[in-house]
A and B are shown apart, each in its own frame.
Chain A
């Protein structure tokens, strides 16, 4: 089945630094990927929709200059948290739309826990 690999699984960084999170589709090409943020004991909050070769579409309230998304190839999308601050600490999850479309369901990465100190 469709597999999405997300790295790193956890990262600790100092306030003011930038962190890059990678999301790869391992055995399929994903033209569309999604980036979510999840707070403890809360549901997933969509941050942006990433389309290969074009600019990401950000949800209302998400700072596009802070959360940079690059979907340069059909198998890789990256989320860079720039000038991270403690309030950016969260669980970030990527998702990909499989090649056969939503009929197969969306595949999720294992998530990245970001802690900014």
Chain B
């Protein structure tokens, strides 16, 4: 079993829809949770960062962490074609700076 599970997709939704992306993990020691967006042939771009449990909102993006269920989510409201990219979750524990990555979900927003 991988430490971090993420459905690779692709996930295709119409423009304007609410998108829900998720990751599950097995290591209860993880405390730092991140979502990155990666366009083709580019480096990952940090979208959201959350420490421990709770919600965080930034514009059209909302990140949620449920440590009791070992489940994190990224919601995108009013999705745009420019949101089409691969979304990767990443996490780490307090004692290690290394990130553990999900497989990435390819998101396609249809105009």
Contact = CB atoms under 8 A, between A and B. Distances in A.
A110 B34 CA distance: 18
Contacts of A110: 42-43
B98 A49 contact: yes
Interface of B: 8, 32, 34, 36, 41-46, 49, 51, 88, 90, 92, 97-99, 101-104, 106
Contacts of A106: 34, 46, 90, 99
A44 B88 contact: yes
Interface in A95-117: 97, 102-111, 113
10 contacts: A34-B98, A34-B99, A42-B103, A43-B101, A44-B44, A93-B44, A103-B49, A106-B99, A107-B46, A108-B43
Interface in A1-36: 6, 32, 34
A49 B43 contact: no
A41 B88 CA distance: 12
Contact of A102 (B32, B45, B106): B32
Nearest to A59: B98
Contacts of A42: 103-104
Contact of B45 (A34, A44, A46, A108): A108
A102 B99 CA distance: 10
A70 B36 CA distance: 27
A91 B41 contact: yes
A108 B8 CA distance: 21
Contacts of A102: 32, 92, 97
A105 B44 contact: no
Nearest to B44: A108
A104 B103 CA distance: 22
A89 to B, nearest CB: 14
Contacts of A46: 98-99
A44 B41 contact: no
Contacts of B92: 102
Contacts of A113: 41
A93 B43 contact: yes
B43 A6 contact: yes
Interface in A50-108: 91, 93, 97, 102-108
